[in-house]
Amino acid sequence: MERPNYSLDGRVALITGASSGIGAHLARLFAAAGAKVVLGARRVDRIAALADSIGANALPVAMDVTDEASIIAAFDAAEARFGPPDTVLANAGIAVAGRTVDLSADQVRSVIDTNFTAVYLTAREAARRMIAAGSKQSGRGRIVLTGSITAEMTGQGDAAYAASKAAVVHLGRQLAREWARLGINVNTVQPGYILTEIDEHWFATEGGKAQVQTWPRRRLTPIEALNDPMLFFASDASAYVTGAHVTVDDGQSL
């Protein structure tokens, strides 16, 4: 991978949901930008293989973001290996498709637990570590939340998911306000529809293909479109940006 536009030299980045899709892509990107990367996910075999491909500056850590003890243990492992993370990407998420009248309470809880509560707990632990490491003095704390364009849309079959992502973007603003004087910036990136494991089956169907044709540019967003916004928010370049959210969807939500 070519050297990215924004430098993350000297940073320690912890990424949740790093076993596939956006998380795995950003792990490679952040490492290429100079960061030491901690790869958190439940699928340990995948993050181990990813860490091997990145090299000595990558650490795979078993992490269940719905378990507070697992989150704390992952931060402990990161700190023991590389020092306290100053850059945290709360990226893990799931989608459970289905009309509201058909989803079970357990399915709804699983979406909220992973997409919102886990983001809250990950960001909270990140802030605790950053504050203890002196973020108020350095101003280097960076927390980036992965949202979704569905936070600002209505549709069919994704009410729980969309609501969880709407909660994430507002959480980002709340945390940004709370930690503004502690040297921690919190921002959210809202990707459009990207071909990942979560939705590749849908976009191979006739219904998925028809959905693509309803968008202004009639195409999926390439995962590389996230590179510059994510790197900007993770780097020193975003020193004066906190509480923001940026939509990267190639006009899909227009």
- Residues 34 and 201: their CA atoms lie apart, in Å, by 34
Q: Which of 140, 129, 121, 26 is nearest to 68 (CA)?
A: 121
- Residue 207: CB atoms within 10 A of its CB come to 9
- Whether 161 is catalytic: yes
Question: What is the full DSSP assignment across 110-124?
Answer: HHHIIIIIHHHHHHH
- Please identify which of the residues 6, 120, 161, 193 carries the catalytic annotation: 161
Rounded-to-integer distance, Cα 6 and Cα 28, Å: 14
Asked if residue 16 lies in contact with residue 40, where contact means CB atoms within 8 angstroms, the answer is yes
Q: How far apart are CA 97 and CA 36, in angstroms?
A: 35
**Active-site amino acid positions:** 161
